[in-house]
Chain A
């Protein structure tokens, strides 16, 4: 099976765990709001919407919430530097999460992501972190590295961890 299809089917299978029918209904009502998205080099508008849901959850413990827009811009710049093979893999992962099946999983929070319930997305991340399917664990690690790497690369995050920054 092609990797992309595998991601899609795997995600579809996970929908059940999140209350499939209810999720489906909510998904059908779902209208994505693209108003905050930009034209970036790698990240599509769908990717940006997805990241704008995930970034605040990955970083929810940080007292000073990082700027989602800056984080997304940094992620995009970093991806442009990666080898093409890795870019292909990321494209498959992000498509898998943004396509109809992936959205179903997130559907319950996605209905209105600006008012998203952090704990539900958190649960989703918990579940892929521990998932028996390696590909979903990889997805967790990939998102984790991409998002938290970009957040702590910015000086805004440093005071919260008592890091003074470079000496000059």
Chain B
């Protein structure tokens, strides 16, 4: 099935208009932007979607890391925190991170929603209020439990957990006709993954929305309590600014969905925006620790649905607000990512790489933000006006990272690993659980040695009720500005404890429907019914 993308303008190759007037502009085309654009265009509004990355489709997706990282990821997949301690994966293309994500889909946990209510005074985001929105998103994006047996990499995680008597479940995925290829991270070549690229964005375009690709929102034009419009820069084929302020967009309402680093950056680049709130702060990452197990049989961790098994055995290990818990999953391995992760050179590096096919990888996602010691990072701008994230790993997070490495190692040995390598510059393959345990306990918890990763950036424009120092209110409106909303992962006041996409889809569906009604438009009936049923 070919998908068409009418009404699109590529700012790196076509001449951008000097100005354009629309009802509503959505900035960013990822999880939040996609859902917002579909709902608001279906509401009858004239919508413009602005995306700084390129439009690439299944025909371009060759399942090769080289092209995918260059075309589809922020900073060639090598974005990192300011002190270089955490490697960050984020998408930068039409569809945003959903074009390259691994399809794992979870509703926001009740514990997280309750915490937001009690700590951030957030009203209307409890279990009953949100479940119908998640159900809508699940239907829209074909989210269902993965019925095919897990690939060997995920099966090892299940085997290890079973052997130790720890729980695990099957992951739900947003796919339709998935051929179990395993290349979700380089863009699904057969349009099976129901990313924004193949679902909500084409639907919005069909409903008359326009799409500008390789167009970056530079800043907002603030006029007192109102935004008059925004300035776009064109980007060249290297993703560098080609021309600043080429296009002025005038819109009645602006929705920021540029992701949890991009959205705060736009606000920070705009003058007259109130900076007394938590703007740019409370950026959370689900910091990830990872381990590689050398298995006697081939695992081929690049093959098959990348994620299908998870465990919440330790997610709430010390209650919601105690020591940070973590979720366990298995990530896919591909040659480049693996080569970079193994920080050796020469013979020592190849000595590791030669067993690539036998590698089983598992990871722990630390649930950051649920504690006064876990305050997250802060987005600021560099001298080029480009965002950077300062994230200091707290002692509490170090404890969780280390504790999780111990668990991952134990699980891998229980699954039959002949050796286990924690991803840390001072670690090596350990031959037994006892040996590994002793060594891991002695590993230094310092940024330059402990290799931490993240593919889940959240926060920076968090919503909340009164006295929560929030950037946005519970409708997603930026406080003090009538016609500016945020609808993406940057809304979250803490991390989630689950992979973020479904939380974003569901919450943005709610906010966009509400906004459509407020703007006097006609949101789709099925969505209005949910909104009316709940209020």
Spell out A's residues near B (CB within 8 Å).
57-63, 74, 77-78, 80-86, 118, 122, 125, 129, 134, 137-138, 140-141, 144-145, 148-149, 151-154, 157-158, 160-163, 166-168
Contact A151 B339 (CB under 8 A): yes
* Among A63, A125, A138, A168, contact of B346 (Cβ-Cβ < 8 Å): A125
B65 within 8 A of A: yes
**Chain B residues with CB under 8 A of A138:** 84, 448
B116 within 8 A of A: no
Spell out B's residues near A (CB within 8 Å).
62-66, 69-70, 75-76, 78, 84, 181, 183, 189, 238-240, 298, 302, 335-336, 338-340, 343, 345-351, 353-354, 356-357, 382-384, 386, 388, 425, 448
* Among B302, B345, B383, contact of A163 (Cβ-Cβ < 8 Å): B302
**Chain A residues with CB under 8 A of B348:** 61
**Chain A residues with CB under 8 A of B66:** 74, 153-154
* Among B183, B238, B340, B356, contact of A149 (Cβ-Cβ < 8 Å): B340
* Complex-state Cα separation, A165 to B520, whole angstroms: 52
* Complex-state Cα separation, A160 to B384, whole angstroms: 42
**Chain B residues with CB under 8 A of A145:** 78, 340
Q: Closest approach, in angstroms, between the C-beta of A5 and any C-beta of chain B?
A: 18
* Among B239, B347, B386, contact of A60 (Cβ-Cβ < 8 Å): B347
Give the top 3 A-B pairs by smallest Cβ distance, nearest first.
Answer: A61-B350, A166-B63, A153-B66
Q: Closest approach, in angstroms, between the C-beta of B233 and any C-beta of chain A?
A: 13
Contact A144 B345 (CB under 8 A): yes
Contact B62 A157 (CB under 8 A): no
**Chain B residues with CB under 8 A of A140:** 343
* Chain A facing B: main interface SS: helix
Contact B346 A82 (CB under 8 A): no
Q: Closest approach, in angstroms, between the C-beta of A60 and any C-beta of chain B?
A: 4
Residue of B nearest to A87 (CB): B240
Contact B76 A82 (CB under 8 A): yes
* Complex-state Cα separation, A140 to B351, whole angstroms: 19
Q: A85-B388, A138-B448, A152-B336 are in contact. Are A57 and B62 (CB under 8 A)?
A: no
Residue of B nearest to A151 (CB): B339
**Chain A residues with CB under 8 A of B425:** 129
**Chain B residues with CB under 8 A of A166:** 62-64, 183
* Among A61, A84, A158, contact of B384 (Cβ-Cβ < 8 Å): A84
Known: A60-B347, A153-B64, A157-B335. 14 other contacts (CB 8 A): A60-B346, A61-B347, A61-B350, A62-B353, A77-B70, A80-B238, A81-B239, A83-B382, A122-B345, A129-B345, A148-B345, A153-B69, A162-B357, A168-B189
Q: A77-B70, A152-B335, A166-B64 are in contact. Are A144 and B340 (CB under 8 A)?
A: yes
* Complex-state Cα separation, A77 to B363, whole angstroms: 31
* Complex-state Cα separation, A144 to B353, whole angstroms: 14
Q: Which one of A74, A138, A167 has the greatest number of beta carbons of chain B within 10 Å? A: A167
* Among A82, A118, A125, contact of B78 (Cβ-Cβ < 8 Å): A82
Q: Closest approach, in angstroms, between the C-beta of B494 and any C-beta of chain A?
A: 28
Contact A161 B335 (CB under 8 A): yes
**Chain A residues with CB under 8 A of B350:** 59-63, 160
**Chain A residues with CB under 8 A of B298:** 162
* Complex-state Cα separation, A101 to B64, whole angstroms: 39
* Complex-state Cα separation, A77 to B300, whole angstroms: 29
Residue of A nearest to B240 (CB): A84
* Complex-state Cα separation, A129 to B70, whole angstroms: 27
Contact A163 B340 (CB under 8 A): no
Q: Closest approach, in angstroms, between the C-beta of A88 and any C-beta of chain B?
A: 9
* Among B239, B339, B351, B356, contact of A148 (Cβ-Cβ < 8 Å): B339
Residue of A nearest to B190 (CB): A168
* Among B63, B75, B343, B345, contact of A57 (Cβ-Cβ < 8 Å): B345
